[in-house]
């Protein structure tokens, strides 16, 4: 029987990645390099003859456009795409839109590393009156205001990602389907930690690069057994 596989891809470089800014829920487009990275990821998948049954992404254009580029190159643009805010990047609170080097100068490298990579440390919260608060964005108008984050740790990001995985994506995986998820560094870190049973202390070491396909293999009981980057 054909092996059940899950492919995870972080979006290609965005314009704010290039400028070294905390992006979070800001809807920033791909840079030229990001588009090229998406095309390169597609070529790797095409070389291995990947054919997908389902695809999922966030409601942020850098992930949506990365997925569209990949499916186009695979000649699978017809594939249904399900979008969910639950796959968004973690919300960086007051840090959103700020240059990372400037934040390090203000708060120190150690604290900023904890904000970026640790499991349960959140950045400073954003005020709901701030124009950057996602509650002002019509794409989140259907949400209860208490669901919209003011700033998230990996732990709180996981609290919104994992219900979506368990209720929506995992049932499709159990049908032995090949699934492609294009999302963000931290929503994917949350999934990686859960599926591969990564310790809370070890997750700080996991940094997912842009547009590098991660292949996760599952056994007959639908348990993740191994993962690797596609090269």
Residue 217 sits in a domain whose CATH number is 3.40.50.1240
Higher pLDDT, 68 or 114: 68
For 94, the token pair is: 């007051």
CB contact burial 177-215 (16+ within 10 A = b; e otherwise):
bbbbbbbbbbbbbbbbbebeebeeeebbeeebebbbbbb
Whole-number pLDDT of residue 2? 63
Which residue is it, tokens 């919209």?
A: 148
Residue 11 a catalytic site member: yes
Q: Considering the entire predicted model, what is its pTM?
A: 0.95
> 49 labelled as ligand-binding?
no
> 85 labelled as ligand-binding?
no
Residue 147 a catalytic site member: no
Residue pair 213/229 in contact (Cβ under 8 Å)? The answer is yes
Whole-number pLDDT of residue 228? 97
Q: Is residue 225 part of a domain?
A: yes
Q: Is residue 43 part of a domain?
A: yes
Averaged pLDDT for residues 147-167 = 97
Residue pair 185/89 in contact (Cβ under 8 Å)? The answer is yes
Q: Is residue 31 part of a domain?
A: yes
For 145, the token pair is: 């205001």
Averaged pLDDT for residues 155-166 = 97
**Nearest in space to 84 (alpha carbons), one of 102, 99, 64, 65:** 64
> 13 labelled as ligand-binding?
yes
Residue 119 has pLDDT above 60, yes or no: yes
- Which of 37, 89, 96, 152 is catalytic? The answer is 89
**Domains in the chain: how many in total?**
1
Residue 59 DSSP code: S
Structural domain harbouring 32: 4-92+153-229
Q: Is residue 84 part of a domain?
A: yes
Q: Is residue 36 part of a domain?
A: yes
């Amino acid at each position: 029987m054909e092996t059940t596989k899950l492919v995870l891809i972080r979006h290609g470089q965005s314009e704010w990645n290039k400028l070294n800014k905390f992006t979070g829920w800001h809807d920033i487009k791909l840079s030229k390099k990001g588009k090229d990275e998406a095309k390169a990821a597609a070529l790797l998948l095409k070389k291995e003859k990947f054919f997908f049954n389902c695809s999922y992404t966030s409601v942020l254009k850098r992930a949506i456009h990365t997925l569209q580029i990949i499916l186009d190159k695979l000649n699978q643009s017809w594939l249904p795409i399900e979008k969910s805010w639950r796959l968004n990047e973690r919300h960086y609170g007051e840090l959103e839109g700020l240059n990372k080097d400037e934040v390090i100068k203000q708060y120190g490298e150690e604290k900023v590393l904890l904000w970026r990579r640790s499991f349960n440390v959140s950045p400073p919260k954003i005020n709901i009156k701030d124009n950057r608060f996602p509650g002002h964005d019509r794409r989140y108008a259907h949400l209860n205001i208490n669901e919209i984050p003011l700033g998230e740790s990996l732990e709180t990001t996981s609290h919104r990602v994992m219900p979506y995985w368990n209720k929506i994506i995992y049932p499709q995986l159990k049908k032995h389907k090949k699934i492609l998820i294009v999302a963000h560094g931290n929503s994917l870190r949350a999934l990686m930690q859960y599926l591969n049973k990564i310790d809370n202390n070890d997750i700080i070491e996991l940094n997912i690069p842009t547009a590098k396909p991660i292949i996760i293999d599952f056994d007959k009981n639908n348990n993740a057994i191994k993962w690797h980057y596609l090269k």
